[in-house]
C-alpha cells in the first residue's frame, strides 16, 4: 500500500514534468522559427545601409532596421508573457482587483497608438466592480484586446471598452468599427502565430492566443461578435 502511494505520487510528478518539458520545447521551437524572419530582415537592411550610395537610401534602410528591431522586441515580449502563464504559479497570484482601474490604465497606455491613427479610444459604461484575478495576466488580456482593435481598425475609426455586470458575471467588452474577422477564421485567430491573409499590420500572431490562455486560467469565457 505504501509503495502504491509513492508510485502514484512519482507518476504524477513525472507527468507534470513531462508536460512542462514538452511545453518548454514547443515554445523554444516556435520562438526559433518566428525570430528567424525578423532577424534575417534586420541583417538584410543593415547590409543595404552599409552599401547605400546616398543619404536617402541609407535613411530608409535604417528606418527598416528600427522597424525590424521593434517587431523582434514585441515578439520576444509576447513569447515571454506566454511562457509565464503557468497554472501552478498563476493560482498563487490571485488578488482582488478593480476591473475599471485595469481598463483605464491600459487605455491610457495605448492612447498614443490610437492617436497615431486618429482613432477615438474611449472607456464607456464602466461599472466599478472588483474581481479575483492575476494582475499581470489581466493587464495582458486587456492590452492585447485593445491593441488588436487599434491595429486592425482603419484610420479615423473608433475603439471603446465597457464593463457591464450581467447577473452573476461581469462582461468586459472591447468594441471597434473595423472590418472584423470572417466567421470561418474566428477559431483560428486564437492559434499561436496565425495571422489573417490580406493584412499587413505589424504583429506576430500571439496576442489573441495569450488572451485565450488568460481567459482559460480565469475560468472565464470569450465571445467574438460581428
Q: What is the pLDDT of residue 156?
A: 93
Q: Answer for the pair 199, 181: CB distance below 8 angstroms, yes or no.
A: no
Q: Answer for the pair 49, 58: CB distance below 8 angstroms, yes or no.
A: yes
Helix (H, G, I), strand (E, B) or coil at 132: strand
Backbone angles phi, psi at 77, to 5 degrees: -60, -45
Consecutive sets of 10 residues in the chain, 226 residues long: mean pLDDT of each?
86 82 69 68 86 89 85 73 65 82 88 90 82 84 88 91 86 88 71 60 66 84 81
Q: Answer for the pair 205, 195: CB distance below 8 angstroms, yes or no.
A: yes
Please state the pTM of the whole predicted model. 0.66
Q: What is the pLDDT of residue 129?
A: 85
**Rounded Cα distance, 182 and 130, in Å:** 34
**Rounded Cα distance, 224 and 201, in Å:** 20
Q: For the chain, where are the alpha helices, taking DSSP H only?
A: 2-51, 55-84, 87-90, 99-116, 135-152, 207-217
Q: What is the pLDDT of residue 199?
A: 55
Taking the CB of residue 49, how many other CB atoms lie within 10 A of it? Answer: 17
Residues 6+ apart with CB under 8 A from 162: 123, 124, 125, 126, 171, 172, 173, 175
List the grid coordinates of 159: 475603439
Backbone angles phi, psi at 158, to 5 degrees: -135, 140
Residue appearing with cell numbers 470561418: 184
List the grid coordinates of 22: 514538452
Q: What is the pLDDT of residue 118?
A: 94
Q: Answer for the pair 173, 162: CB distance below 8 angstroms, yes or no.
A: yes
Amino acid at each position: 500500500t505504501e509503495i502504491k502511494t509513492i508510485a502514484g505520487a512519482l507518476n504524477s510528478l513525472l507527468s507534470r514534468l513531462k508536460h512542462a518539458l514538452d511545453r518548454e520545447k514547443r515554445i523554444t521551437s516556435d520562438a526559433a522559427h518566428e525570430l528567424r524572419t525578423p532577424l534575417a530582415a534586420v541583417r538584410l537592411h543593415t547590409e543595404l545601409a552599409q552599401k547605400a550610395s546616398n543619404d536617402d537610401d541609407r535613411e530608409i534602410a535604417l528606418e527598416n532596421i528600427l522597424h525590424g528591431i521593434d517587431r523582434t522586441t514585441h515578439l520576444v515580449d509576447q513569447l515571454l508573457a506566454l511562457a509565464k502563464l503557468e497554472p501552478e504559479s498563476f493560482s498563487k497570484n490571485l488578488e482582488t482587483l478593480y476591473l475599471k482601474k485595469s481598463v483605464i490604465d491600459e487605455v491610457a497606455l495605448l492612447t498614443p497608438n490610437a492617436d497615431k491613427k486618429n482613432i477615438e479610444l474611449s472607456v464607456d459604461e464602466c461599472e466599478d466592480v472588483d474581481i479575483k484575478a492575476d494582475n499581470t495576466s489581466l493587464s495582458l488580456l486587456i492590452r492585447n484586446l485593445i491593441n488588436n482593435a487599434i491595429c486592425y481598425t482603419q484610420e479615423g475609426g473608433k475603439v471603446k471598452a465597457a464593463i457591464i455586470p450581467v447577473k452573476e458575471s461581469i462582461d468586459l467588452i472591447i468594441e471597434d468599427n473595423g472590418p472584423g474577422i470572417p466567421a470561418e477564421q474566428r477559431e483560428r485567430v486564437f492559434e499561436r502565430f496565425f495571422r489573417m491573409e490580406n493584412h499587413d499590420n505589424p504583429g506576430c500572431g500571439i496576442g489573441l492566443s495569450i488572451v485565450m490562455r488568460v481567459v482559460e486560467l480565469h475560468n472565464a469565457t470569450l465571445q467574438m461578435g460581428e
